[in-house]
Chains A and B, each alone.
Chain A
Amino acid sequence: MAAPAEPPALAAPVPASEPGSLSQWALIGRRFRHHRLAVASLFLLAVLYVLALGAEFFAPYSRDWRDLSHAYCPPQLPRYSWAHGLHVTALRVRIDPLTFKKSYVEDPADVIPLGFFVRGEPYRLWGWIPLERHFFGVKLEAPRRADGARPTFYFLGADEYGHDIFSRLIHGSRISLSVGLVAIAVTFMLGVTIGGISGYFGGAVDTLIQRVIEVVNAFPQIPLWLAFGAILPAEWPPLSTYFAITLVLSLLGWTGLARVVRGKILSLREEDYATAARLLGASHTRILFRHLLPGFTSHIIVVLTMSVPAMILGETSLSFLGLGLRAPIVSWGVMLQDCLSIQTVANYPWLLMPVVLIVLTVLSFNFLGDGLRDAADPYATK
Chain B
Amino acid sequence: MKPDTPSPLLSVRGLTKHFPVLTPGFRRRQTGVIKAVDDVSFDLAPGESLGLVGESGCGKTTTARCLLRAIEPTAGVTLFRLPDGRTVDLARLSDRELKPVRQHAQMVFQDPFSSLNPRMTVRDIVGEPLVIHRLAQGADLDDRVSAMLARVGLRPEHRSRYPHAFSGGQRQRIGIARALIMRPSLIVCDEATSALDVSVQAQVLDLLKELQRDFGLTYLFVAHNLDVVRNFCDRVAVMRKGRIVELAATRDIFTAPQHPYTRILLSAVPSPDPDVKMNFNVGEELAKLDALTG
Contact = CB atoms under 8 A, between A and B. Distances in A.
Q: Do chains A and B touch in the complex (CB under 8 A)?
A: yes
A27 B118 CA distance: 12
B114 A272 contact: yes
Interface in A299-326: none
Residue from A2, A273, A282, A378 with most neighbouring chain B CB atoms (10 Å): A273
A128 B111 CA distance: 59
A278 B107 CA distance: 11
Contacts of B113: 5
Contacts of B70: 275, 278-279
B110 interface: yes
Contact of B107 (A3, A276, A283): A276
Contacts of B47: none
A273 to B, nearest CB: 4
Contact of A5 (B109, B129, B165, B196): B196
B68 interface: yes
B115 A21 contact: no
Given A1-B191, A280-B132, A379 B118 contact: yes
A295 B106 CA distance: 24
B133 A281 contact: yes
Contacts of A278: 70
Given A1-B56, A1-B224, A279 B68 contact: yes
Nearest to B128: A280
Contact of B161 (A2, A20, A24): A20
A37 B99 CA distance: 50
Contacts of B115: 272-273, 276
B110 A2 contact: yes
A19 interface: yes
B263 interface: no
Interface string A55-89: 00000000000000000000000000000000000
Interface in B57-71: 65, 68-70
B29 interface: no
Contact of B162 (A4, A23, A272): A23
A24 B163 CA distance: 11
A273 B114 contact: yes
A286 interface: yes
B196 A277 contact: no
B117 A279 contact: no
Contact of A277 (B103, B128, B158): B128
B160 interface: yes
A324 B103 CA distance: 59
B195 A4 contact: yes
A18 interface: yes
A291 B115 CA distance: 11
- Interface residues of A: mostly helix, strand, loop or mixed? loop
B162 A282 contact: no
Contacts of A280: 102, 106, 128-129, 132, 178
Residue from B119, B128, B133 with most neighbouring chain A CB atoms (10 Å): B119
A122 interface: no
B102 A21 contact: no
Nearest to B165: A20
Interface string B147-164: 000000000001011101
B68 A3 contact: no
Contacts of A273: 114-117
Interface residues of A, number: 30
A283 B99 CA distance: 9
B74 to A, nearest CB: 19
Given A21-B165, A23-B162, A379-B164, A279 B107 contact: yes
A23 B116 CA distance: 14
B214 interface: no
Contacts of B175: 276
B109 A21 contact: no
A141 interface: no
B41 interface: no
A3 B161 CA distance: 26
A283 to B, nearest CB: 8
A202 interface: no
A18 B269 CA distance: 38
B196 A4 contact: yes
Contacts of A29: none
Contacts of A20: 158, 161-162, 164-166
A281 B132 contact: yes
Nearest to B71: A275
A2 B195 contact: yes
A378 B165 CA distance: 12
A26 to B, nearest CB: 10
Contacts of B106: 279-280
A3 B224 CA distance: 12
Contact of A271 (B56, B98, B114): B114
Contacts of B194: 1-2
Contacts of A281: 98-100, 102-103, 129, 132-133
A2 B191 contact: yes
A21 B161 contact: yes
Contacts of A24: 118-119, 162
B51 interface: no
A21 B107 contact: no
Contacts of A98: none
Interface in A1-18: 1-5, 18
Interface in B158-181: 158, 160-162, 164-166, 168, 175, 178
B119 A295 contact: yes
B273 interface: no
Nearest to A297: B119
Given A2-B110, A21-B165, A281-B132, 6 more contacts: A1-B194, A21-B162, A272-B109, A279-B68, A295-B117, A295-B118
30 contacts: A1-B56, A1-B194, A1-B224, A2-B110, A2-B224, A4-B195, A5-B113, A5-B197, A18-B165, A20-B165, A21-B121, A21-B160, A272-B114, A275-B65, A275-B70, A276-B175, A279-B69, A279-B106, A279-B107, A280-B102, A280-B129, A280-B132, A281-B98, A281-B103, A281-B132, A282-B128, A283-B132, A291-B117, A294-B117, A295-B117
Q: Which 4 A-B pairs have the closest CB atoms?
A: A20-B165, A2-B194, A272-B115, A20-B161
